């Protein structure tokens, strides 16, 4: 064997190890960015669904026949409002909480015993500081005008 060959094969090994380390660091950075993007997308979906619930509860309340006006008793009442001759739909379907694994929402009770709003049961910290310390701190509530 030639002494020059032995040192070159060791050099190639070091280059391959360095390339693998750089590749691993790149994959870790890409995974972190993807995770952050996925979390941001879930947060956007959560905000849109929460706003839809808030609007639907407001529509249900303001379109109450007669007096006094009332809040929905269940979230299903927002999908099928049977207080009228024909069924009204304030929501297309009952949406699950995208931030909660079991998809359940917390319920904000209304003064009349119905549902005034919803909130996430997730205790995770939001990406946006203005939302509060936890997702569960942010409530989507319809406030009836006095």
Q: Is residue 72 part of a domain?
A: yes
Segment 78-134, tens digit of pLDDT? 999 998 888 899 999 999 999 988 899 999 999 989 999 999 999 988 887 666 789
Q: Is residue 18 part of a domain?
A: no
Q: Is residue 33 part of a domain?
A: no
Q: Is residue 100 part of a domain?
A: yes
Measured CA to CA, the distance from residue 114 to residue 78 in angstroms comes to 12
Phi, psi values for residue 7, rounded to 5°? -70, -30
Q: Domain tally for the chain?
A: 1
Q: Is residue 34 part of a domain?
A: no
Q: Is residue 63 part of a domain?
A: yes
Segment 57-78, tens digit of pLDDT? 999 999 988 888 999 999 999 9
**Burial of 126 by CB count in 10 Å (0-12 exposed, 13-18 middle, 19+ buried)?**
buried
Which residue in this structure is represented by tokens 């009442």?
Answer: 77
Handedness of CA 106, 109, 113, 115 (dihedral sign): negative
Segment 130-142, tens digit of pLDDT? 667 899 999 999 9
- Whether the CB-CB separation of 143 and 104 falls below 8 Å is answered with no
Q: Is residue 127 part of a domain?
A: yes
The domain in which residue 82 lies consists of 40-141
**pLDDT tier at 25, thresholds 50, 70, 90:** confident
Q: Is residue 19 part of a domain?
A: no
Handedness of CA 135, 136, 140, 143 (dihedral sign): negative
């Amino acid at each position: 064997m030639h002494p020059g060959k032995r040192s070159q094969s060791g050099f190639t090994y070091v280059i391959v190890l360095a390339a693998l380390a750089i590749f691993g660091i790149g994959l870790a950075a890409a995974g972190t960015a993807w995770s952050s993007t996925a979390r941001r997308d879930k947060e956007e979906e959560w905000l849109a669904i929460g706003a839809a619930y808030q609007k639907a509860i407001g529509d249900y309340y303001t379109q109450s026949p007669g007096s006094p006006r009332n809040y929905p008793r269940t979230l299903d009442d927002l999908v099928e409002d049977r207080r009228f001759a024909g069924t009204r739909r304030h929501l297309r379907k009952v949406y699950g909480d995208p931030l909660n694994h079991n998809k359940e929402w917390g319920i904000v009770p209304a003064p009349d015993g119905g549902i005034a709003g919803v909130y996430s049961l997730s205790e995770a910290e939001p990406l946006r500081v203005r939302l509060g310390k936890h997702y569960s701190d942010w409530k989507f509530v319809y406030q009836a005008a006095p």
